[in-house]
Structure 1
Amino acid sequence: MNDPVRRRRVRGDGVDLAVHEQGDRSNPTVLLVHGYPDTHAVWDEVAERLAGRFHVVRYDVRGAGASSRPFGTRNYAFEHLMADMRAVLDATAPGRAVHLVGHDWGSIQGWEAACTMPDRFASFTSISGPCLDHVGRWTRRAFGRPTPRGLRRAAAQGMRSWYIYFFQTPLLPETLWRAGISRAFTRALEIGEGVPARDGHPARTLPRDGASGVGLYRANMAARLRRPLDRRTDVPTQVIVPTRDLFVSPHLVGGLAERVPNLSLRTVRAGHWVPRSHPDAVARWIAEHAAGAAGGPLTAAESRALRRARVAGDRR
């Protein structure tokens, strides 16, 4: 039987956030943070598989889904995103360190959170969303002390990041989203990623989510890439690296261990939307990483719970 989803509203930093919870609240909490242009629903399959073992929390970030859509680029800066995350943590897991998981912009937020408020997290799993400060330093190193291999890798990442530069264009990205580019996005997921549309993902709010979420790029990207901060974290961190990601190069993990001493890497032969295409593997790795951070492997009962959730998810 699927764990029911409990919905609530949490007041963030001047916005109302749509929060979704599953599982027993007495279990360790896993916070799943979605990226752009998704909503919490991108995690449906993973959350279903984890809810038998964890208290699973998801929320629509500002500008997405059923959460508020503040106007103005400044309202999407990291300081507001971190205040929102703290509000969700305070409401759903007060006084407890949670296992943080982020995909795409959820992972970019996760790096900021793990580096600036590490006491709130027992572990961090990053998927297809690098630390912007690390990317800035990685790029500077590639061009500052150039080697043919380093230049090729930097140039390849620049080509993958074409949309970042496009999103800096005033008004045009928002206009295209509202004009119907969401249909092309959905089709690209099906063809390029092998991820068929299903109820909830892509969300019905996609045109508005895409238009509002452009603020994430405008408010944070340029400043961090041009003037990267000295970011480090001791939070046990797992980076899941999809080797077929069209937007994030696997090479961006280079040099990361210098700033994340408790680091583990996993590769998966998948595209960018790996929470949708490989939910079994993602859920298993999250659970294993959480167990390792807590000091031990999964118990037999926990492994059985994950297997039951996987079978239930396959029957949906």
Structure 2
Amino acid sequence: MSPRIPGFDYRRVPVADGVALSAAVGGNPAGSPVVLLHGFPQTHLMWRHVAARLAADHTVICPDLRGYGASDKPAEADGAYAKRTMADDVVALARALGHERFALAGHDRGALVAFRAGLDHAAAVTHLACLDVLPTLDMWDVMHGTSAAVGFHLYLMAQPPGLPEEMIAAAPDAFFGHFLDIWSGAGNADAVPADVRAAYLAASRAAVPSIVADYRASAGVDVEHDRADLDAGRRLRMPVAVLQQDWGAALGFDAAARWRAWAPDLRHATVRCGHFMAEEAPGEVEAALRDLLARTPAATGS
């Protein structure tokens, strides 16, 4: 049996036509809701430590994103994996569980979904946290030259349907395991224990087409949506927290400045761990989220 977050209930919640998300739900029902979105190549399990810590005084909701884990994996068509569509899923999930307004935190791919939800659903998202990522438009803008080799998977999965899926499906454990290995910080290899690693690999192995579709959308429709919002002057109106490794300096750009262009009410911090910070440094992530939640929330509006 796949590992679970202890003390959390697991539910399947319809969020769109023919699409249901699997979500772990737990915590204090009297506490304000917090939705936590996972990254690649992970599932909701990446939040197991932070979710347990927040559960003392918050309702905590940890879904598998559309196309990942135990959630449904619709065919790639008509923007099925646009971050706008995936953000709509998250808002529908929260509403189905009784929450019209909620705080939202995402890591990696989940942070891109959270970012889009903050722009498209400002009335619903009170606070926003994004871990170790740049907005899609900025990500493509800073990737250049030999430094872009670290993002080879972004370019591979951006290719038209067929070749990326075939290549990854030929050796899925080697492909997904590569990132679990190289993205952990020095000395933090045990942050993802064997049973959790096996669960990540099994989930990813079963989701190659939808994972590729998610990444392909980030080289197409997601860029279009970000560009349209930037040109229209749309910004994140809620308090925003961003935690990142110091890869901005390594790649030659100011990560905080990139984020501040989107989020006027920003607190940006650099953490000393690898990419999987919710598993490598859960206490630091929890502290940042609690600091975010203590800030004056976004006002209700459209």
Tell me the TM-score normalised to structure 2 length.
0.82
SS at match of 1:292: coil
Does residue 228 (structure 1) correspond to residue 218 (structure 2)? The answer is no
Report the equivalent of 2:158. 168
Seen in structure 2, the aligned counterparts of structure 1 residues 61 and 188 have a Cα distance that, compared at 3 Å, is closer
Q: Note closer, same or farther for the CA distance 1:44–1:76 as it changes in structure 2 (3 Å cut).
A: same
Match of 2:115 in 1: 111
The aligned counterpart of 2:47 is 43
Q: Give the stretch that moved more between structures: 154-163 or 76-85.
A: 154-163
Using a 3 Å threshold, how does the CA distance of structure 1 residues 285 and 167 change in structure 2: closer, same or farther?
Answer: same
Match of 2:92 in 1: 87
Distance (Å, rounded) in 2 between the aligned partners of 1:248 and 1:271 = 16
Q: Does 1:200 align with 2:196?
A: yes
Q: Structure 2 regions of 5+ residues with no counterpart?
A: none
- Contact kept, 8 Å, 1:134 with 1:228, in 2: the verdict is no
Q: Does 1:242 align with 2:233?
A: no
- Distance, in Å, in 2 between the alignment partners of 1:178 and 1:163 is 14
Question: Gaps spanning 5+ residues in structure 1: where?
Answer: 143-152, 296-316
- 1:281 match: secondary structure: helix
Q: Does 1:181 align with 2:177?
A: no
Distance in 2 between the 1:159 and 1:249 partners?
A: 14
Q: Relative to structure 1, is the Cα distance of residues 94 and 185 closer, same or farther in structure 2, using a 3 angstrom cutoff?
A: closer
Q: CA deviation at 1:258?
A: 3.4
Larger deviation, residues 231-240 vs 75-84: 75-84
Q: Is the 8 A contact 1:34 1:42 kept in 2?
A: yes
Q: Rg: which structure is higher? A: 1
> 1:178 Cα shift?
2.7
Out of 119, 123, 129, which is 2:133 matched to? 129
Tell me which residue corresponds to 1:10.
13
Counterpart AA for 1:49? R
Cα distance in 2 between the residues matched to 1:124 and 1:247: 26
Contact 1:243 1:271 in 2 (8 A): no
For each residue in 1:150-175, what CA deviation from the matched residue of structure 2 results, as whole angstroms up to 9, or x when unmatched? Answer: xxx85466333221111123323322
SS of corresponding position for 2:104? strand
Matches of 2:116 and 2:275 in 1, distance apart? 20
TM-score, with length taken from structure 1 = 0.78
Give the aligned residue type for 1:239.
V
CA shift for structure 1 position 224: 4.3
Equivalents in 2 of 1:244, 1:50: separation in Å?
28
Distance in 1, matches of 2:45 and 2:249, equals: 21
RMSD between aligned residues? 2.8
Q: Percent identity?
A: 24
Contact 1:125/1:286 (8 A) holds in 2 = yes
Contact kept in structure 1, 2:103 and 2:293, CA below 8 Å: yes
Identify if the C-alpha distance between structure 1 residues 163 and 246 changes in structure 2 by more than 3 Å, giving closer, same or farther.
farther
The answer to which of 11-20 and 212-221 deviates more is: 212-221
- Please say if residues 244 and 269 of structure 1, whose CA atoms lie closer than 8 Å, have aligned partners that are also in contact: no
> What letter corresponds to residue 240 of structure 1 in structure 2?
L
